[in-house]
Amino acid sequence: MTATSERATATRSRSAEPRPLGNRIYGFLRSIPTWFLWILVILWTVPTFSLFVNSLRTRDAQRGSGFWNAFSDETFPTLDNYQDVLFPEVGAGLGNALLNSASIAIVATIIPIAIAAFAAYAFAWIDFRGREWLFIGTVALLAVPTQVSLIPLLSAYSTGVRWTIPIVERTITLFPDLDLSGQIPSVWLTHTGFAMPFAIFLLHNYIAGLPKDLFESAAIDGADHFKVFWRLVLPLSVPVLAAFAIFQFLWTWNDYLIALTMIGGNREALPATIVVASLAGEFGAQEHLLTSGAFVITLFPLIVFFALQRFFVRGITAGSVKG
Amino acid sequence: MNRLVITILGIVAAVGGSAVVFVGINKLYDLTEDRYALFNAVAGGLVSAGVFGLVWGNRLVVSPVVVWLIAIAVGAATGYALGLFEDPMRRLASGIAGGAALGLVLGMRATASILPSIDPLAAIIWLAVGTGLGFAVSAVSGGQIDRLRSLLAGGAVGWLFGAWLAADFDGSRAEVIVVALVLGTLAGAFVGRRPFPNRIARGNMAVASRKYIFAGPALVFVASALLFPLVRTIWLSLLTGNPRDLQWTGLTNYGEILTDPGIIDFSGFGEIFSSNMFWLAVVLLGAGFVTGRIAGRRLGGNFAAGGPSLTMLAFGVILFGFALFTSIRGTIPNNLWWIFSVIVFAVSLGLAVAVLADRSKGENIAKSLIFLPMAISFVGAAVIWRLIYVARPPTDPQSGVFNTLWVQLGFWSDSTTASTVIAAILGVVVAGVVYLAWRGWQAEANAIVAGSLAIAAGLGYFIYRVVGPGIGGVAISELTGELVADPVLFIQETPWNNFWMMVVFIWIQTGFAMVIFSAAIKAVPEDLLEASRIDGATETQTFWRVTIPQIYPTIGVVVTTLVVTVLKVFDIPKVMTNGNFDTQVLANEMWERAFTQLNFGLGSAVAVLLFIAVLPVMYINIRRMQSERLG
What number is the ipTM of this complex?
0.87
Task: Tell me which chain A residues have a C-beta less than 8 angstroms from the C-beta of B391.
Answer: none
Task: Compute, in degrees rounded to 10, the torsion defined by CA atoms A87, A93, A99, A102.
Answer: -110
Q: At B374, which amino acid appears?
A: M
pLDDT > 80? residue B481: no
Beta-carbon-side half-sphere exposure of residue A8 (alpha carbons within 13 Å): 5
Beta-carbon-side half-sphere exposure of residue B324 (alpha carbons within 13 Å): 17
Instruction: Mutation target for A interface from B379, B490, B608: give the one with most A CBs within 10 A.
Output: B379
- Identify the DSSP state of B167: S
Strand stretches in B261-417, DSSP E: none
Phi first, then psi: give them for residue B476, nearest 5 degrees: -90, 125
Residue in B218, B236, B352 nearest the CB of A151: B236
Q: Are B489 and B477 in contact (CB under 8 A)?
A: no
Distance from CA of B466 to the nearest CA of A (A): 23
Sign of CA dihedral B571, B575, B579, B584: negative
Distance from CA of A237 to the nearest CA of B (A): 16
pLDDT > 80? residue A17: no
Q: What is the largest CA-CA distance in chain B?
A: 110
Domain ranges of chain B: 1-27, 28-229, 266-328, 415-488
Say what the pLDDT of residue A10 is. Answer: 42
Q: A21 CB contacts (<8 Å, ≥6 apart)?
A: none
- Domains in chain A, start-ordered, CATH in brackets? 19-78 (no CATH), 86-317 (1.10.3720.10)
Asked if B370 and A44 come within 8 Å (Cβ–Cβ), the reply is yes
Q: Are A204 and A123 in contact (CB under 8 A)?
A: yes
- Looking only at the bridges linking them, the beta strands covering B239-240 and B474-476 are unpaired
Phi first, then psi: give them for residue B329, nearest 5 degrees: -115, 170
Q: Are A81 and A288 in contact (CB under 8 A)?
A: yes
By C-alpha distance, the chain A residue nearest B595 is A261
Instruction: Mutation target for B interface from A144, A170, A316, A322: give the one with most B CBs within 10 A.
Output: A144
Task: Tell me which chain B residues have a C-beta less than 8 angstroms from the C-beta of A188.
Answer: 14
For chain B, say whether A239 makes contact (Cβ under 8 Å).
no
Say what the pLDDT of residue A9 is. Answer: 43
| Average of per-residue pLDDT across A121-126 | 90
pLDDT > 50? residue B574: yes
Closest CA to B74 of B109, B99, B43: B99
Among A residues 63-82, those touching chain B with beta carbons less than 8 Å apart: 63-67
Chain A to chain B Cβ contacts (< 8 Å): 355
Task: Tell me which chain B residues have a C-beta less than 8 angstroms from the C-beta of A274.
Answer: 379
Asked if A305 and B372 come within 8 Å (Cβ–Cβ), the reply is yes
Distance CA B566, CA B344 (A): 12
pTM score: 0.87
Phi first, then psi: give them for residue B103, nearest 5 degrees: -60, -40
State CA A281 to chain mean position distance.
24
The model's pLDDT over B402-429, given as tens digits with 9 standing for 90+, comes to 988 888 888 888 888 888 898 899 999 8
Count of CB atoms situated within 10 Å of the CB of A54: 23
B435 against B219, higher pLDDT: B219
Q: Name the β-bridge partners of B61.
A: B110
Distance CA B395, CA B484 (A): 8
Count of CB atoms situated within 10 Å of the CB of A291: 27
**DSSP letters along A115-146, please?**
HHHHHHHHHHHS--TTHHHHHHHHHHGGGS-T
**DSSP letters along A174-220, please?**
EE-----TTSHHHHHHHHHHHHHHHHHHHHHHHHTTS-HHHHHHHHH
Say what the pLDDT of residue B42 is. Answer: 92
Question: What is the SS3 assignment for A77?
Answer: coil
Say what the pLDDT of residue A30 is. Answer: 65
Contacts 24+ apart (CB under 8 A), B320-323: B320/B278, B320/B281, B320/B282, B320/B285, B322/B277, B322/B499, B323/B272, B323/B275, B323/B277, B323/B278, B323/B281
Say what the pLDDT of residue A25 is. Answer: 67
Q: Are B268 and B582 in contact (CB under 8 A)?
A: no
Asked if B10 and A107 come within 8 Å (Cβ–Cβ), the reply is yes
The model's pLDDT over B483-522, given as tens digits with 9 standing for 90+, comes to 888 888 888 888 899 999 999 999 999 999 999 999 889 8
Q: Is the peptide bond before B397 cis (omega within 30 degrees of 0)?
A: no
Asked if B384 and A128 come within 8 Å (Cβ–Cβ), the reply is no
First to last CA, chain B: 57
Burial string for B32-45 (b: 16+ CB within 10 Å, else e) reads bbeebeebbbbbbb
Distance CA B403, CA B488 (A): 7
Say what the pLDDT of residue A312 is. Answer: 77
Question: What is the SS3 assignment for B58?
Answer: coil
Asked if B439 and A167 come within 8 Å (Cβ–Cβ), the reply is no
The model's pLDDT over B351-391, given as tens digits with 9 standing for 90+, comes to 989 988 887 788 888 889 999 999 999 999 999 998 899 88
Distance CA B148, CA B154 (A): 10
Count of CB atoms situated within 10 Å of the CB of B46: 16
First to last CA, chain A: 54
Asked if B519 and A119 come within 8 Å (Cβ–Cβ), the reply is no
The model's pLDDT over B63-117, given as tens digits with 9 standing for 90+, comes to 888 989 999 999 999 999 888 888 888 998 999 999 999 998 888 888 888 888 8
pLDDT > 70? residue A174: yes
For chain B, say whether A143 makes contact (Cβ under 8 Å).
yes
Residue in A46, A256, A316 nearest the CB of B377: A256
Task: Tell me which chain A residues have a C-beta less than 8 angstroms from the C-beta of B553.
Answer: 322
Asked if B353 and A40 come within 8 Å (Cβ–Cβ), the reply is yes
Task: Tell me which chain A residues have a C-beta less than 8 angstroms from the C-beta of B604.
Answer: 151
pLDDT > 50? residue A323: no
Q: At B329, which amino acid appears?
A: R
Asked if A126 and B622 come within 8 Å (Cβ–Cβ), the reply is no
Say what the pLDDT of residue B73 is. Answer: 93
Q: Angle, to 10 degrees, between the axis of helix A131-140 and the axis of helix B600-630?
A: 130
Nearest 5 degrees, angle CA B22-CA B25-CA B27? 105
Residue in B10, B399, B595 nearest the CB of A65: B399
For chain B, say whether A39 makes contact (Cβ under 8 Å).
no
Distance from CA of B21 to the nearest CA of A (A): 11
Distance CA B296, CA A85 (A): 64
Asked if A102 and B229 come within 8 Å (Cβ–Cβ), the reply is no
Closest CA to A36 of B520, B453, B430, B357: B357
Q: What is the largest CA-CA distance in chain A?
A: 110
Question: What is the SS3 assignment for B110?
Answer: strand
Helix (H) or strand (E) holding B118: none
Distance CA A38, CA B227 (A): 46
